[in-house]
Structure 1
Amino acid sequence: MPAIATPTPARRFFIQPALPPRAAFLLLMALGACKEQVRPQRPTPTVSVEPAAKGALPYIVVANGQVEPNRTVAVQSLVSGQLTRIAIAEGDEVSQGQVLFEIDPRPFRAELQRVQATLARDEATLVRARADSARFAALASDGYVTKQQLDQAFAEVSALSATVSANRASLDRARFDLENTVVKAPISGRTGQLLFRAGALVRASTDQLVTINELRPVLVRFPVPEKDFEEMRRRAGVDKPLAVKVTPNGADTTKSIKATLTFVDNQVDRTTGSVLLKARVPNEDRALWPGQFVSVGLQLDVEQNVITVPSIAVVTTGTTSFVYVMEDGKAKRTVVKPGRLAGSLIRVDSGLVGGEQVIIEGQTRLSDGASVRLRGEEGDRPRKADSGGGQRGGNGGAGSAANSPRGNGGQSGGQGGQAR
């Protein structure tokens, strides 16, 4: 029996009626209420300003230096012997010619006496030889003495004269050695560590007894790059006693020590590409110590009519440098061409004319044309609405905050505080 196809029931479609206008409006209002709330407006940035200055700017070359004594001497004995006395202590201040050490003088005194005796003997022999030569000369004229005998007498006189001269030189050396058993300070200065103690044997011109450093004045040696050296030659030459400011590392940078350039090396160091310079510091207060590292500022000259701003005011992005200038409560971005640094200031070669109020604090949060508020202005101080409002409410004369919190007096007080 053939299959009978069952008819498929027709699909039914229902069209939902549109929402009434009132319901659609309420739905849109509900969806709008679910949106994210508007963020509060950011407060106006607070900044500090400083005027761009126009005036003199010293040209200063900054370098790192090291202090060294003006003179230093490693004291040694000129004679060998036993150290019998030490007349100083470590770290003493000594004057030139002051006794430092004593070496046993007895062997040198005995040598002096021996040389004196030898000299006296040879001088007596010389006197006799001269008398003999005079007699031989008289006899030789009468033919009683041969010429050979006469020549021998004169030769003996010459030999004895040389011997006496040698003895006198030996006497001078013996006296010199005896005097040098007392070791004296060759310069004035401060002694260092004692390297020998009493009773030790010291060797002449070999063993170092102590080192003396002259601390008043001292020298500061510092290298200057070749390009700065060329600038120094162009501006001031190499023979001018330029002013130098020395600041010890770790000390107050506002308190520098005055010095004078006294030495310029005669060649450029091939290894470092720099030239060695030295400055003399009086150092009367002994603020500087040999071996100490310092910062040095060499002033070449003073430039006039130069625009300067604090270096912290300049913002550099890529190859562009700019500052923010405050005008009518707005931050104006001004492109500048920065020059050389001079301490905390930087020279501005173009972009400013002087007198602009340059923002030096808070400029990293700014954009061109942004509203700013000057630090210290009335709007930047905390408001005292309670005290101001209460007073003005009292003047209103209607009520007080305690008796009528929403009275006319309290309301006018609030308005007074808001107006302020």
Structure 2
Amino acid sequence: MRMVRVAVFAVIAVAVGGAGYFYRDEVAQRLGLGAFASAAEKGSAASPAAAAQPQGRRGRLNPGGPVPVVVTKVAKKPLPIVIEAVGTVQAIASIQIKPRLDSQIMKVNVEEGALVKEGDVLFELDARTLKAQLGQIEAQIRKDQAQVAQAKRDVSRYEELLSKNAGTVVNRDTAQTTLKAAEAQLEADEAAKASVMTSLTYTEIRAPVSGRIGSISSKAGTVVRVGDNTAASSLATINQVDPIYVAFAIPQVFLPDIRAAMAKGDVKVNALIDDNRKQSGVIAFLENTVDPLTGTVTAKARINNATEGLWPGQFVKVEVILGIEPEAIAVPAPAIQLGPQGPYLFVVKDGVAELRNVVIKRTQGGESVIGKGLEGGEQVVTDGQLRLVNGANVGIRPATPETPSTAAAPPRG
């Protein structure tokens, strides 16, 4: 009985082994080992087309038929030369309002956050003491004027007596000295009046520039002092917001191009507030040195801001327009892939995909501008390239709404 069982197992093992050998190719293919089995049997390496692919793309060419792809035809067209950066909005002037004399705030004529014009009265200080001093000085000036007039009459009288030999030279000289002393006193009192009147102007604190005022830390009744250097000594801060600055850093490799463009005229700058809003201006300032830590140079754009779309401290995307490239070759950015040898894309010729290494000059507005490796009129794969290898057969399909746009983005001027 035991011998019978052994014989049965032996027959089953032989049958299974024979079936496995007979269907070995199909089994290996289902297990993903077909390429290795084929290479072992044929003793050959992978195909030259597959070997040319970046790591991770090697395999059999079109084992399931043509690969469906979406393509776009490349055409030469004018495109702006744009440098993109991230900028910070800065007020052209940010002025702290501080008192220039010790006094008490009598009245606040502005609300927090209000838009003020240059010369507007913001705060009124107690001016009663200064006005009293001014009245005293004006009275003293009138007294001085009377003394000067009397001294002039005395000098004239002594001159007349001396001419008739009825007076003395000493009396005449004394009268002249008295006149000069009275005139000097008059000048001193007039200077004191000017000083008090200047101090009186300090009792009306006016806006030095037009702009937006911030928080008002001191209200009516507060005693303010000139010698107070604390942060609270500032009555308010005015930011000049129209026009306004946008500061941004530019890589030093673009510095020669920007300076050359500035030498020809104003260099346009767009500050993108969001997808639908932007404000334009020109570069107003380039820092006089490159930051050695970051390799960038700071630039500032002066932008009109009547609508106050830009706010101090805000971060915005910045576009520097250096000019127009008349015959630029651009492809949608999704068409570009990265491999061991750098950027590449697939060009379709006669239904076959060709891997093409390219040089990217810049990427802007969803498009990559090609500097080398592509000619106008060629068809470039924009969707489906992840399944492609060099030399693969392709089938062109129409674009769908989910497909990355194959249309060129309109240039932003």
Q: TM-score range by the shorter chain?
A: 0.7 to 0.9
Identity in percent: 31
2:294 is the counterpart of 1:279: no
**What one-letter code is carried by the residue in structure 2 that aligns with 1:200?**
T
Quick one: distance in 2 between partners of 1:220 and 1:377? 40
User: Alignment partner for residue 242 of structure 1, among 267, 271, 287?
Assistant: 267
**What one-letter code is carried by the residue in structure 2 that aligns with 1:210?**
A
**What one-letter code is carried by the residue in structure 2 that aligns with 1:104?**
D
Query: Residues 159 and 224 from structure 1, CA distance in 2 versus in 1: closer, same or farther, beyond 3 angstroms?
Result: farther
- 1:32 counterpart residue number: 22
Quick one: distance in 2 between partners of 1:356 and 1:137? 111
**What one-letter code is carried by the residue in structure 1 that aligns with 2:22?**
G
Asked if the contact 1:69–1:214 (Cα under 8 Å) also holds between the matched residues in 2, the reply is yes
Residue 81 of structure 1: how far off its partner (Å): 0.5
Residue 342 of structure 1: how far off its partner (Å): 3.3
Quick one: distance in 2 between partners of 1:47 and 1:152? 114
Secondary structure at the counterpart of residue 302 of structure 1: strand
Quick one: distance in 2 between partners of 1:152 and 1:321? 102
Residue 91 of structure 1: how far off its partner (Å): 0.6
- 2:47 counterpart residue number: none
- 1:216 counterpart residue number: 242
- 2:280 counterpart residue number: 258
Q: How does 1:46-85 map to 2 (within 5 A)?
A: 46-85=68-107
2:84 is the counterpart of 1:93: no
Residue 83 of structure 1: how far off its partner (Å): 0.7
Asked if the contact 1:58–1:342 (Cα under 8 Å) also holds between the matched residues in 2, the reply is no
- 2:251 counterpart residue number: 225
**What one-letter code is carried by the residue in structure 1 that aligns with 2:334?**
I
- Residue deviations 1:108-139 (CA, integer Å, cap 9, x gap): 11111111111111111111111111112222
**What one-letter code is carried by the residue in structure 2 that aligns with 1:227?**
V
- 2:150 counterpart residue number: 128
TM-score by length of 1: 0.75
Secondary structure at the counterpart of residue 27 of structure 2: coil
User: Alignment partner for residue 301 of structure 1, among 318, 323, 330?
Assistant: 323
Quick one: distance in 2 between partners of 1:175 and 1:30? 113
- Residue deviations 1:279-337 (CA, integer Å, cap 9, x gap): 12112322110111222221112122221212332223223432112334432222323
2:220 is the counterpart of 1:195: no
Secondary structure at the counterpart of residue 241 of structure 2: coil
- 2:173 counterpart residue number: 151
Asked if the contact 1:77–1:205 (Cα under 8 Å) also holds between the matched residues in 2, the reply is no
2:314 is the counterpart of 1:292: yes
Q: How does 1:343-382 map to 2 (within 5 A)?
A: 343-376=365-398
Query: Residues 167 and 306 from structure 1, CA distance in 2 versus in 1: closer, same or farther, beyond 3 angstroms?
Result: same
Secondary structure at the counterpart of residue 77 of structure 1: coil
Quick one: distance in 2 between partners of 1:50 and 1:364? 16
Query: Residues 60 and 164 from structure 1, CA distance in 2 versus in 1: closer, same or farther, beyond 3 angstroms?
Result: same
Quick one: distance in 2 between partners of 1:89 and 1:176? 26
- 2:363 counterpart residue number: 341
Q: How does 1:371-410 map to 2 (within 5 A)?
A: 371-376=393-398
Asked if the contact 1:76–1:205 (Cα under 8 Å) also holds between the matched residues in 2, the reply is no
Quick one: distance in 1 between partners of 2:302 and 2:368? 29
- 2:335 counterpart residue number: 313
Quick one: distance in 2 between partners of 1:201 and 1:30? 102
Aligned residues: 351
Of 238-247 and 369-378, deviating more is 369-378
Asked if the contact 2:65–2:393 (Cα under 8 Å) also holds between the matched residues in 1, the reply is no
Query: Residues 200 and 239 from structure 1, CA distance in 2 versus in 1: closer, same or farther, beyond 3 angstroms?
Result: farther
**What one-letter code is carried by the residue in structure 2 that aligns with 1:111?**
Q
Query: How large is the Cα RMSD of the aligned pairs?
Result: 2.9
Asked if the contact 2:90–2:246 (Cα under 8 Å) also holds between the matched residues in 1, the reply is yes
Secondary structure at the counterpart of residue 153 of structure 2: helix
Query: Residues 363 and 146 from structure 1, CA distance in 2 versus in 1: closer, same or farther, beyond 3 angstroms?
Result: same
Secondary structure at the counterpart of residue 36 of structure 1: helix
Query: Residues 218 and 239 from structure 1, CA distance in 2 versus in 1: closer, same or farther, beyond 3 angstroms?
Result: farther
Of 298-307 and 28-37, deviating more is 28-37
Asked if the contact 1:78–1:205 (Cα under 8 Å) also holds between the matched residues in 2, the reply is no
Residue 166 of structure 1: how far off its partner (Å): 1.8
Asked if the contact 2:70–2:399 (Cα under 8 Å) also holds between the matched residues in 1, the reply is no
Asked if the contact 2:155–2:175 (Cα under 8 Å) also holds between the matched residues in 1, the reply is yes
Residue 205 of structure 1: how far off its partner (Å): 8.0
Residue 267 of structure 1: how far off its partner (Å): 4.5
**What one-letter code is carried by the residue in structure 2 that aligns with 1:65?**
G
- Residue deviations 1:336-373 (CA, integer Å, cap 9, x gap): 23323334322223322112221122322210122334
- Unaligned 5+ segments in structure 1 are 1-23, 379-420
Query: Residues 167 and 273 from structure 1, CA distance in 2 versus in 1: closer, same or farther, beyond 3 angstroms?
Result: farther
2:131 is the counterpart of 1:109: yes
Structure with greater contact order relative to length (CA < 8 Å, sep ≥ 6): 2
Of 173-182 and 113-122, deviating more is 173-182
- Residue deviations 1:27-85 (CA, integer Å, cap 9, x gap): 95685358628549657544332222312232222233211123332222333201111
- Unaligned 5+ segments in structure 2 are 1-13, 33-62, 401-413
**What one-letter code is carried by the residue in structure 1 that aligns with 2:265?**
K
**What one-letter code is carried by the residue in structure 1 that aligns with 2:27?**
E
Of 35-44 and 330-339, deviating more is 35-44
**What one-letter code is carried by the residue in structure 1 that aligns with 2:269?**
V
Asked if the contact 2:252–2:290 (Cα under 8 Å) also holds between the matched residues in 1, the reply is yes
Quick one: distance in 2 between partners of 1:162 and 1:221? 56
Asked if the contact 1:193–1:210 (Cα under 8 Å) also holds between the matched residues in 2, the reply is yes
